[in-house]
Amino acid sequence: MKIRLPAFAVAVVVLASGCAFNPQVAQIDPTLEVASGDIGKGTTVAFRVVDERDSKSIGNRGAAFGKGAKITTTQDVAALVHQKIAEGLGKKGFAITDFREDASPRLTVELRSLEYDTSIGFWTGGVQIVAALKGVAMRDGKAYERMYRYDNEKRVVVVPTAGKNDEMLNAALTDVMAQFFDDIGMLRHLAGE
């Protein structure tokens, strides 16, 4: 029996980390709910989202003995963020137009990070998701800047499935975009209040 217990433990670890060696193409689809309002009062905002990430790779899946396969996406994450924030600004009473450097007001949202990282523990592993957006609003020569961050680590016994990874990545993006809309100072600056 002593010989079988270590073999069983190894088999469980190998099975639990099996999907970690399959590359994942993440499906990014954050669900942002923005309450309607009229703070924008029809103000036209020149708007863009810029992808400022160091790498377009999202990270690596976890494995029993270190990093697993890469997590990437074929989607244009900046375009997805642009779509969601533009929809939200519309619900807040703003009209969106193409970005111009001479426009006032104008808004640039920088996608600073969307990362998936893992760590190894004795009985559990860690999955850390980090996301960050920076909003830069200009109106009448005055700037309003704010960074919106999400950083969450979960301890896991079994390597998360691709679906669970997608869920965690989408929750992170949803959170940082929700922080943008919770920033009443940003919305008032854009509206000229």
Could you check whether the bond before residue 30 is cis, i.e. omega within 30 degrees of 0? no
Using CA atoms, how far residue 78 sits from 51, 131, 148, 154, in Å, is 6, 13, 15, 26
Whole-prediction pTM = 0.84
For 67-76, write each residue's pLDDT tens digit: 678 999 999 9
**For range 129-151, the mean pLDDT:** 97
What's the rounded Cα separation, in Å, for the pair 190 and 181?
A: 12
For 40-73, write each residue's pLDDT tens digit: 999 999 999 999 999 889 988 765 555 678 999 9
Joined tokens for residue 75: 């989607």
What's the rounded Cα separation, in Å, for the pair 105 and 56?
A: 30
Strands (E), the chain: 24-25, 44-51, 59-63, 66-72, 95-98, 106-120, 125-139, 142-156
Share above pLDDT 90 across residues of the chain, in percent, rounded to a whole number: 67
